Structure 1
Amino acid sequence: MTHLRDFSPDPVPPTAPAPSPARRRGLRATALVAASVLAAGLLGVVVAGGGTATAGAVGAGSYTETRPAGALLPKGCGAISTNPRVFTTADAPAGAIPTNDWWSSLIWKRNNCTGSEVLHAHPLAAKAENNGLGLSYTTTPAISGTATGVGEFHYPYTEDVRVGMPGLSAPVVKAAGWTDWTVTADWSDGSRTMRATIGHGLPFSYYTVSGGTAQLTTAGTPTVWRNSGATIGFTVRGHDYVAYAPTGATWTVNGTGISSTLAGKGYFSVAALPGGGDRAALADTYARYAHAHVTGTRMSYTYDPSAGTVRTTYAFTTTPREGSETKTVVALYPHQWRSLTGATPISPTYVSARGAMRVLTGVPSFTTTMRFTGLLPEVPAVGDSSGADLSTVTGYLNAEQGNPEGLSGPDTYWAGKGLGRAARLAEIADQLGQTSVRDAALNAMRNRLTNWLTAGSGEAGQLFYYDRNWGTLIGYPASYGADEDLNDHHFHYGYFIAAAATLAKFDPGWADDSRYGGMVDLLIRDANNYDRADSRFPYLRDFDIYAGHDWASGLAPFFAGNNQESSSEGMNFANALIQWGQATGDTAVRDAGVYLWTTQSAAISEYWFDVYDQNFPAAFGHKTVGMVWGDGGSYSTWFSAAPEMIQGINMLPITGGHLYLGDFPEYVKANYAELVTNKGGPPTVWQDIVWEFLALGDGEQALRNFRANSGFTSEEGESKAHTFHWIRNLAALGTVDTTVTANHPLAKVFVKNGARTYVASNITARPLTVTFSNGVTLAVPAGKTATSGAYTWSGGNATGGGTVPTGPPPTVTPTPTPTTASPTPTTASPGPTSTGTPLKPVRYLRSGGGLDGTAGTSGTVNVAAANGNHDGTPTNPQVFTATGLTGTYTGGATAFDLAVDAGTAVGNGVQIRVSYDLTGNGSVERVETYRYFATDPVPGAERYRQTQGLLSSTGTLGNLSGGTVRVEVWNAIGGAPTILGVGNSSTVTLPYGS
C-alpha cells in the first residue's frame, strides 16, 4: 500500500524529496481506455510508424509512448494492467474510462476482484457482491479521536438490504454503462442477468432482470408497513425502503426475503425514504416516478462574464418502463441547494456525510447559479512604495535570484512545487520593477518546463509518457502513486500549468501551440479533460461533477471510499486553467477553469470548512477537516498529526487564485483560533502558510506575527519574499468583498473599514475597461494590473517581460446606479480605439447577413441540415459579410464565439469558414476553415469557438484597406437544422486595430 499514515510532527526535509503535505493523499483511480479506441496520432502529430510509434511531437514539445525502464503502470486484478476493459461489458461506452469517480472500483478492481469496494453515492451507499447489490442508508455517524487532536467522523456502510435474484451467482460484476454521475453494473452467471443503475443524489436504484425474478434480502426481519399490489414498504435497521414492481405484480415476504415475479416484466426499482415525515404519503409521491428509470445524466455550465455568474444545469435522461412519466426524484447536496434556481425542495431531508440533502420531486433537471468572484495573478503592491517594507521585500527578492525554484525535485510533484515558487517570485518582482529577479524566475521556469515537455531531452529523465490502454499521460519520474494508482494528476500538473500561464504573459511565443502550448493542453486534458468530444482522456477525470469537488483517489481500497486531502491544490489546478486560458486566449479552457473554481470553492466551504456549521456532526468538535472521505471526513493528513499541517494542507499553495479562502473572514479567524488551541500555542511549522491564510481574515494580525518572527523556515513551496508581499498588501487592502463581481475574470474587490479597493489585471495587448457589478469602472492599460486606491502597474507581454511605467493612476469611474454590462463575447475587451471611424474588431452576426460592429436585437436563423458529409465544404451556408473595412493587422488570430443549438438532434456538427479580401477587389487573400463543432442533443445554446481548432487555412493576413470579410456557417454533418444565434449572441473578432 503506497500511503500509510505517519503522524510524525515534522516533515522530513527532502534531499531526494520526501513526502510533503499535498502529496500523500489516498489512492485513486484511473482512466481506462481500450487500445482499439485510440488510433495512432490522436495526441498530436505522431512520428511515422503508427501504433508502434515511440514518441509524439506536439509543436516543439513531445511525449513518449515507450515506457521508461522500470517505470510502473496502473495495476489491478488479473489482466487489467494490460487490458483495463476486462471488467466492462461488450456494450459499455467507448472511449477513455472514468477513473477517479465514486464508482471507479467497480471497473478498476484491485482488492475485490469480483465485485466492488463500497460506492458512496449519497444519500445511499452501495456495494456490488456476486449475488446482488447491497444498499446502505446510514444516518448515525461514527466519531473517533478527540476535539483537539486527530479525529474522524464517518457514516459507515452497513448493509440494510441486498437486491438480487434467486440463485444469482455472477463470477464477476462488470460496468455496463456510465454517465456524468451514474453507473450501471452488470451481473451475469450464464442463466440469469441483472443490471442495476445507481447514482449521486438518487434515492432510487433501478433494476432490470432476465432469466429469473426479483429477490430482496434484508439485514434482519423487516417491518412491513405497506404491501399493496406492486408496492411494498418496509423498515430495516430503522430505515424505510419502498420497492416498486410493475403493474400487475405483487410482493411476497418470507422471513428476511422479499420476492416478486414482476409479472414477467423484468424491471423494478427500490427507493430509500428520508425518514422523519409521512412515509406513506412520500411513498405515494415517489411511486409516480418509480418506473421512469434514470438512464443518463449530464452536466452543462455557462460562465457569463457580464453577470459574473456560473450557471450549471444537471439534467436527467429517463426511460419510462411503464406509463409516460419522464421526470424523477433527486436529492441535492448543500452546495447545490444553497444556489438552486427556480425550484423548491420538499421536506424531509436525507442525512448524508456532506450534511442535509434536500429533495426535488418531478424534475427533468435542476440548475444552480453561483457567483464567480474573480481572482488575480497575484495580490497587487499597494503598500508603502518607498520605505522600509519596500526595502524588506526587495532584499528577500534579491536573495532568490540565484535559485527561484528553491527545492525542486526530480518528480512531477516536487518539480511542480519549484515551478509554483518561481512563478510567485516572477509576479512580485515584475510588480516592483525588479527585472533581474523576474527574468531569473522566468528563465528557470522556461528551462524546467521545456525540459519536462520535451521527451528525450535528457535531463534527469524527466518526460511525459502516454499510455494508450489507460488513456493517461504520466509524468516520470512519478511520485505518490501518480503512476500505478493514477493519483493526484490535478495536484501535480496544476503547478506546471500555472507556471506556464505566468511564462505565457511574458513569452507568448513559448506558449503558442506551435511550440509548447499543445503539451500544456495535454496536461490539462489528462487531469481534467474539458472537451467531451476528446475520447483520449475521460471527461473531467479528477472532478466529481455532482459532488462538486476533486477526488485524489479512485481505487477506494478503504472502506470509507474515495478521499481527497489538499482541496487547495485542486483549486490550484482550476486557477491554472483560468490563468492559462486568459493568457492564451483559449476561452474554452478559461471557462472550464471558472466552472471548476466556482463550484469547488463552494464545496470546500461546505465540506472541508463547514463555514455554516451545519454539515459536520455536532460531536465531531472540529471546524475543519484535513481530508474528505466518501463517507465522512477526518482531522488528519496522510503525513503528519501537526495541526499546522492538518489545516495548512487545505491552504497551500497561496496564490492570487486562492482568494476564495477569504470569502468568510470570520471563519478564517475561527479556523486559526482552532489551530492555536489544538497546537497549544502559535504555529511552529508552516507559519508562512498559516499566516498568509490568516491575512485573509485579519491582515494586521498576520503582519504583526510575521514581524515578530521573521526568522521562520519557509514551507518548501514558499519564499519569504512572497509571504511578506502577500501579508503586507492584504493588511493594506483588507478582506475580499464577495458582494461585488466584475465582467472580467482577473478582477477582485477588497474592503477595509468600509472602503473598497478595486483591482483588475489585463494581460492582453490592448487597453481594457473593467465594469464591476456596482457600476464602478476601472481602466486598465495593456499588459498591466490596476487598482483604485494606492496603485501599481504590473505585468508585460513581450519576451523578457514588461516594464513598470510611470504616470497617473488608473481611472476609477463610479456610476450613480449599478449597471449590467451588455452582452459581449467572452474574449477580452478590445479597449478604446482611435478617433475618427476606427475599425471595430468585434463583429456581430446579424439577421439579414450583416457582420456589423454593433450588436443588434437578439434573434436566430436556421442553418440547413447537412444530409450528408460536408466537412470543410460550405453547403447551404448562412453567410455574413462586412465590407469597406480598413485596419492594421495586429499579428493575432481570428476568434469567434457562436451560439448554436441543434435541439434534441443527435449527430449534428456545425462549421465556420472566415474569408478575408484585404482590398475588397474580389481577390481573397486568406481563408480559414475551422473544425466542426458536434452539438449535443440537449435543447439550449452551446458555444462554438475558435478553440475547436483550424481544419485548414490558405494565404496570409495583412492590413485591411477597404477590405471585405465573409463568414459562412453551415452544417458539416447531421440530418437536422441547427439554430444559430444572431443580433447580439454570436461574434467574430478580427485581429485588427485602427
Structure 2
Amino acid sequence: MKPFSHRWRAPAAVLAVALVTTALSFTMLDPAGAAPLGAGSYATSRPAGGAAPVACAGVSANPRLYVTGNAPAGAVPTNDWWSSLLYKRDNASCQFSAPLHAHPMSFQPAGDGLGVSYTTTPTISGTPTTVGEYHYPYSREFTLGVAGLSSPDVKVDGWTDWTVSPYWAGNGRTLRATIGHGLPFVYAQVTGGNAVLSFPSTPAVWVNSGNRVGFTMRGHDYVAFAPTGATWTVSGTTITSTLAGRGYLSVALLPTTTSTPAAERTALADSYATYAHRHVTGTTVSWSFNQATSSVNATYAFATTAREGSGGGTVASLYPHQWKNLASGTPITPTYVSARGPMRTLVGVSSFTTAIRFNGVLPEVPAVATSTGADLTTLGTLLDQVANGDPLAGVGNDTYWTGKGLGRAARLAEIADQLGRTTQRDRMLSAIRTRLTDWFTASAGKTQRVFAYDAAWGTLVGYPASYGSDTELNDHHFHYGYFIAAAATLARFDPGWAAQSQYGAMVNLLIRDANSWQRSDTMFPFLRDFDIYAGHDWAAGHGAFGAGNNQESSSEGMNFANALIQWGIATGQPAVRDAGLFIYTTQAQAIQEYWFDSSDSNYPAAFGHSTVGMVWGDGGAYATWFSGEPEMIQGINLLPITGGSLYLGQRPSYVNTNWDELVRNNGGQPTVWPDVLWSFRALGSGGAGDAALAAWRANPGYPPEDGETRAHTFHWLRNVAALGTVDTSVTADTPLYAVFTKNGARTYVATNATANPVTVRFSDGRTLTVAGGRTATTGAFTWSGGGGVSNPPTGGPTDPPTSNPPTSNPPTSNPPTSNPPVGSNRLLVRSGGALSTSAGGAATTVTLAAANGNWDGTPHNPATFTLCGLRGPVSGTTAFQLHVDAGGAVAQGVQARVSYDPAGTGTFSRVETYAYFATDPVPGTEAYTQAAGLRSSSGTLAAMTGGCAKLEVWNAIGNAPTTVRVDATATEGRQSTVTVPFTVS
C-alpha cells in the first residue's frame, strides 16, 4: 500500500471532513529552458504534461491575486495553517477561506467580517480500538465586522512567522484583522463605519464600562476593547462602537470557565487590558545550537505597535511543546483548551525562549553485534541478496518513490561500509550518484526526472510528481527529504560531487523549496512546510479543509530534518545543519505531544487512543489517507527507520504503550510493515529489543516495507537489541552521537564526518576518540571490518581506537546509468520486491501470508515485485512460471496478478488477474503458470516508454502460509520468472 495515496479522499475514519472541489485549471509557464546551478540545472518551465497548482479562478497562474499591495514581496507561503486564505482551492466562489485554526481561537472569514470560535468540547468518533477521530470544530460565537460591510472576498494584507492579516473591502468599508498562533487577542482596524460584534444569539454581557465590554457565549468569556474615550452599545444580538473615530479595537478571549469567580475574571480582564492596544504587528523566530551542551535554543519574538500610549509586550499562549521546554518565565495558572492540549499563557512578554536538549543522530546504528559470528554471516547473506544488483531497479519514477529507493540504497551503503564490503558500498553509492545526477540535470524537452521552478508560486516541483506534490504543493519535505538524505550519505564518500560548484547547489535548492533557512531567499518562502509556532510540518499546500491543514507522516518530516543535519555536517554548512537541528528538536517534542501524547495529557479522555495517524488543525485522527489498518496508521509515523530515528526511543515506556495498542487493535502481531514496527518496538523498555529481534528470527520470510530491506532491518534489530534503550540523560559535544543503556551499562557512539581524528566529550565525563570518517563505540563488543571502531573499556574515561579501519574512498568505477535498458522481456523474480533480468546469488523464498478467507481475484497481503524502465512495442502475451510450495498444508490456492504501467506514471492501465493455483500438500515446489487461465483483465496493452511491470502474488484461499522461490541462479534451476508481452529494448 502506498503512503499518501488518494489525497483527494477523506481519511479512513468515521468523521468526514467537508471538501469542496473546483474545476481543474492547468497553466504552463513561459518556456525558458534550463537554469544552470553548479554542475546541475533545473527547468524554468513546466515539462510537457506537467500539472500546475490547481485553484479556482485565476489563482493557479497568479497566487498573488488575493494578496494586497501591503503584503511582503517574494514567494507566497503555502503549507501553513492559514494558507486557504490565499490558496483558494476549495471555495467554489473564490471568496473567503476554510476555517483557520490558530489556537486558542479558530476563525472563518465571511462577507461581513471575521467569524470567531473557541470550542472546548470535542466531537469524537470511533472507539478506542477502531479508526476514529477527535475534533474541536469551528463553531461561530460572533463575527467581528464593520456596520454595512459587504466584501466580495477576503485578501491577505500581510503575514509574519506565525500571524496573518486578512483584509476586507466593500461598500465603502474596510476591515483589517491580525490573528495568529498563540494570540488570545484579535486585533482590528476599521474604516467607513462602526465596529460591530454580531452574535447568533443574545450574548450574556457581564461588564460594559467605558471602552470595555465583557460578554459570554457558549460559556466562553471575551472582552472587547475600544480606544480610550469610546463606549459600546449593546442591542440584542449586536454590540457596536464608534471607536471614537479612531478606527482600532481588539477582542480578547479569557482563559476562564463558568466556575471562575467573578473577581478572578475581572482581574484577568484588567491584566489583558494593559496590552489591548499594543497590537502585534510582527513575529519572528531565531535559533542557535550550543554544541558544547547539545542544546537548541529558539526565541519567539513579538513586535508590537502601540495604537495609544506607549510600551511594548503582549499576551502569548504557548503550546505544550513550548511551555514544557521554557528556558525561563512562569505562565499564569489558567489554561486554554486546544486541539493540541492545554495552552499556558505568559502576560507582558516581548519574547520567550525554549531550550531543548538534542540527543544526537547517527548516519546508521553501529554494527556492534553483527560484526562477527553467525549473525555476521546472516547479515552478509541478506546484504548480498539486495546489494549486488541495481538498488533502484523497480522503484517508481516519481519523486516520492524515487526517494524511497534512494533512501533504501543509502541504508545499504552505510551497512556495507560498516562491514568493510566496499564493493557493495560503492555499488550503492554509484547508483545514488547516477540517479541524483539525472534528476539534477534539466534539458530542453526532458519530461522525466526533472525539477522545474515555478516562479509564480515560488516552488520547485519534481516531475513525475505524485500525491499532489504538483497540483496541491503537498509533501515536498516528505519527498525531498529522501533525496537530501541520500545526498548526505554520498557526500561523506564523494565530497567532490557534493560541492556547491558541482551538485551540492541542487541539493540546497531542494532544501530551500521545502524549508528555506534563509529569510532573504527571493525564490522561496521562509520555512515553507514547517509551522514555526505549532512546532511541526503541514503536508497540504492549500490547507483548505474544514478541519484545517493536516500532516500524516511526522516521521518523514523528521527524515527531512535529519537529512539537513547530515547534509550540513557532511558539506560544512553550519547554517543548514542548525536549521535541521531546530526543526528536528522542536518537531521531536511536538511528535511526543501531538502524535503520541506520551504524557497522556493532550487527547480528549474519551478518544481512548495512545497515538494518532494524522494531526489536523482542529484535532487528530487514528486513521490515514490510505488505510484503516492499525499497522499502517501507527507505522506511517515511524518510517523510514534510519540513524535519525532514535528520537522515537526517547521515551522507552511509551514505545511499549504504542506497541500494546497496535497489537490490541490489530488483534495480534503485525503482518503489514512488520519490519518498521519491529524496529520501533526495539527502542522500548523491558527487553523490547530482544523481543523484536526474536520476532524477526521467527518470521524471516516477512514481506519488507517498500523502503526497507531485510538486511537493514536485521542490522537495526540485532544491534539495537545489544545496545539497549536510548539514554537521554547524557549528551555529547558533536551532533553525530548517541548513548544507549542496557542492564545498567552505557554504550557511547559517535561519528566523525571529518578527515582528521576528533575526541568527543560526553556530559558525564566520558571521552571517545574517533578516527576520520569513522564511527566509534565503547562497550564489550568485538569488532571486525570497516566503518567503525569498537573498543572495550580501558578503566578510564577515554577509549581510543586501537585498530586501523579501512578508509572510505569514493567509488572509482563508472556508475551505471539510471534505469539502464532492460534488454530482455524475461524477468526473474527477486527478493526485495524486484523483477530483474539478472539472477540472484542463491535461491531463497518469499512467504505469502495465509488467506484465512476467500480472496479470489482480490490481492490480500500480496508479495509485490516490480521493474521499471521498460521500453518497446507490444509483442506476444504475458507468461509466468512461479515455483510455489504449500508444504504439507491442504486446500491452499496461490494467485497472481500482472499489471503494466506504460509510461511509469503510477497508473497501471493494463491489469491481468489469473486463476488461482491449487497446491498439493506434498513438500517441494510446484510450477504455477499462466496456463491456469486468465480470470479477469482490464485495459489494453500499450507500448512501453520507460514503463513498469508489476507482479503480485497472494494466497486466495487456505489457512496456512505458502512460499514462492526467488533469487535462484540458472545453475540451481527452478527460477521464478515473468515474461512480459513487449519487444524490450
> What's the CA shift string for 1:805-841, capped at 9, x where partnerless?
889779895289xxxxxxxxxxxxxxxxxxxxxxxxx
The match for 2:955 is none
Take 1:448 and 1:173, find their aligned partners in 2: how far apart are those partners? 45
The match for 1:769 is 759
Residue 457 of structure 1 deviates from its aligned partner by: 9.2
Residue 302 (1) aligns with residue 288 (2): yes
Correspondence 1:605-684 to 2 at 5 A: 605-684=592-671
Question: Over the residues paired in the alignment, what is the CA RMSD in angstroms?
Answer: 2.3
The match for 1:939 is none
More off after superposition, 803-812 vs 280-289: 803-812
Q: TM-score, normalization: structure 2?
A: 0.77
Residue 384 of structure 1 deviates from its aligned partner by: 4.7
Q: 1:811 to 1:374 in 2, by over 3 A?
A: farther
Q: 1:761 to 1:403 in 2, by over 3 A?
A: same
The 8 Å contact of residues 61 and 454 in structure 1, kept in 2 or not, is answered as yes
1:98 to 55, 72, 77: 77
Take 1:490 and 1:407, find their aligned partners in 2: how far apart are those partners? 23
Report the residue type matching 2:342 in the other structure.
A
Structure 1 stretches lacking a partner, 5+ long = 9-23, 30-34, 41-50, 795-801, 817-994
The match for 2:913 is none
The match for 2:310 is 324
> What's the CA shift string for 1:245-288, capped at 9, x where partnerless?
00111101111100000011100000111123321111111111
Report the residue type matching 1:814 in the other structure.
P
The 8 Å contact of residues 28 and 485 in structure 1, kept in 2 or not, is answered as no
Take 1:174 and 1:5, find their aligned partners in 2: how far apart are those partners? 28
Take 2:795 and 2:349, find their aligned partners in 1: how far apart are those partners? 46
Q: 1:2 to 1:569 in 2, by over 3 A?
A: closer
Residue 715 (1) aligns with residue 694 (2): no
2:34 to 55, 67, 82: 55
Q: 1:459 to 1:506 in 2, by over 3 A?
A: farther
Take 2:639 and 2:779, find their aligned partners in 1: how far apart are those partners? 28
Take 2:794 and 2:762, find their aligned partners in 1: how far apart are those partners? 13
Correspondence 1:400-419 to 2 at 5 A: 400=386, 401-405=388-392, 407-419=394-406
Residue 108 of structure 1 deviates from its aligned partner by: 1.0
Take 2:20 and 2:573, find their aligned partners in 1: how far apart are those partners? 32
The match for 2:9 is 4
The match for 2:921 is none
Report the residue type matching 1:245 in the other structure.
A
Take 2:198 and 2:171, find their aligned partners in 1: how far apart are those partners? 22
The match for 2:946 is none
Residue 73 (1) aligns with residue 52 (2): yes
SS at match of 1:346: coil
Residue 528 of structure 1 deviates from its aligned partner by: 0.3
Residue 804 of structure 1 deviates from its aligned partner by: 5.4
The 8 Å contact of residues 498 and 579 in structure 1, kept in 2 or not, is answered as yes
Take 1:441 and 1:207, find their aligned partners in 2: how far apart are those partners? 58
2:529 to 542, 558, 561: 542
The 8 Å contact of residues 780 and 791 in structure 2, kept in 1 or not, is answered as no
Residue 750 (1) aligns with residue 747 (2): no
The 8 Å contact of residues 785 and 792 in structure 1, kept in 2 or not, is answered as no
The 8 Å contact of residues 778 and 812 in structure 1, kept in 2 or not, is answered as no
Report the residue type matching 2:305 in the other structure.
T
The match for 1:730 is 720
Residue 458 of structure 1 deviates from its aligned partner by: 8.4
Take 2:587 and 2:113, find their aligned partners in 1: how far apart are those partners? 34
Take 1:345 and 1:763, find their aligned partners in 2: how far apart are those partners? 42
The match for 1:471 is 458
Structure 2 stretches lacking a partner, 5+ long = 1-5, 23-27, 800-985
Take 2:492 and 2:354, find their aligned partners in 1: how far apart are those partners? 33
The 8 Å contact of residues 410 and 460 in structure 1, kept in 2 or not, is answered as no
Q: 1:131 to 1:6 in 2, by over 3 A?
A: closer
Residue 792 of structure 1 deviates from its aligned partner by: 7.8
The alignment of Structure 1 onto Structure 2 pairs a total of residues equal to: 775
The match for 1:365 is 351
The match for 1:47 is none
Report the residue type matching 1:62 in the other structure.
S
Take 2:434 and 2:445, find their aligned partners in 1: how far apart are those partners? 13
Correspondence 1:846-857 to 2 at 5 A: none
The match for 1:395 is 381
The match for 1:952 is none
Percentage of identical aligned residues: 63
1:380 to 350, 366, 373: 366
Residue 533 of structure 1 deviates from its aligned partner by: 1.1
The match for 2:825 is none
SS at match of 1:79: coil
The 8 Å contact of residues 775 and 789 in structure 2, kept in 1 or not, is answered as no
The 8 Å contact of residues 786 and 810 in structure 1, kept in 2 or not, is answered as no
Residue 460 of structure 1 deviates from its aligned partner by: 7.1
The 8 Å contact of residues 354 and 607 in structure 1, kept in 2 or not, is answered as yes
Residue 575 (1) aligns with residue 580 (2): no
Correspondence 1:169-318 to 2 at 5 A: 169-276=150-257, 277=260, 278-318=264-304
The 8 Å contact of residues 106 and 174 in structure 1, kept in 2 or not, is answered as yes
More off after superposition, 70-79 vs 542-551: 70-79
Residue 404 of structure 1 deviates from its aligned partner by: 2.2
Q: 1:237 to 1:630 in 2, by over 3 A?
A: same
Take 1:297 and 1:758, find their aligned partners in 2: how far apart are those partners? 40
Q: 1:506 to 1:771 in 2, by over 3 A?
A: same
SS at match of 2:747: strand
Take 1:536 and 1:458, find their aligned partners in 2: how far apart are those partners? 24
Take 2:653 and 2:239, find their aligned partners in 1: how far apart are those partners? 53
Take 1:805 and 1:198, find their aligned partners in 2: how far apart are those partners? 52
Residue 456 of structure 1 deviates from its aligned partner by: 2.9
Take 2:207 and 2:275, find their aligned partners in 1: how far apart are those partners? 18
Residue 165 of structure 1 deviates from its aligned partner by: 0.6
Report the residue type matching 1:4 in the other structure.
R
SS at match of 2:631: helix
Take 1:763 and 1:460, find their aligned partners in 2: how far apart are those partners? 36
Residue 27 of structure 1 deviates from its aligned partner by: 12
Take 2:359 and 2:723, find their aligned partners in 1: how far apart are those partners? 16
> What's the CA shift string for 1:320-376, capped at 9, x where partnerless?
011113110010000000001220000210000000000110111111100011010
The 8 Å contact of residues 431 and 792 in structure 1, kept in 2 or not, is answered as no
Residue 555 of structure 1 deviates from its aligned partner by: 1.6
Q: 1:451 to 1:69 in 2, by over 3 A?
A: same
The match for 1:87 is 66
Q: 1:273 to 1:806 in 2, by over 3 A?
A: closer
The match for 2:127 is 146
Correspondence 1:958-977 to 2 at 5 A: none
Residue 814 (1) aligns with residue 801 (2): no
The 8 Å contact of residues 775 and 788 in structure 2, kept in 1 or not, is answered as no
Report the residue type matching 2:435 in the other structure.
R
Q: TM-score, normalization: structure 1?
A: 0.76
2:104 to 123, 136, 146: 123
The 8 Å contact of residues 213 and 260 in structure 1, kept in 2 or not, is answered as yes
Residue 740 (1) aligns with residue 730 (2): yes
Take 1:757 and 1:806, find their aligned partners in 2: how far apart are those partners? 13
The 8 Å contact of residues 197 and 205 in structure 1, kept in 2 or not, is answered as yes
Take 1:554 and 1:134, find their aligned partners in 2: how far apart are those partners? 23
SS at match of 2:315: strand
Residue 557 of structure 1 deviates from its aligned partner by: 2.4
Q: 1:192 to 1:704 in 2, by over 3 A?
A: same
The match for 2:575 is 588
> What's the CA shift string for 1:777-815, capped at 9, x where partnerless?
110001100001145889xxxxxxx95588977989528
SS at match of 2:333: strand
SS at match of 1:347: coil
Residue 403 of structure 1 deviates from its aligned partner by: 3.1
Which stretches of structure 1, 4 residues or more, deviate above 6 A after TM superposition?
A: 26-29, 457-460, 805-812
Take 1:238 and 1:190, find their aligned partners in 2: how far apart are those partners? 34
Residue 515 of structure 1 deviates from its aligned partner by: 1.1
Residue 690 (1) aligns with residue 671 (2): no
Residue 699 (1) aligns with residue 678 (2): no
Report the residue type matching 1:464 in the other structure.
F
The 8 Å contact of residues 190 and 248 in structure 2, kept in 1 or not, is answered as yes
SS at match of 1:128: strand
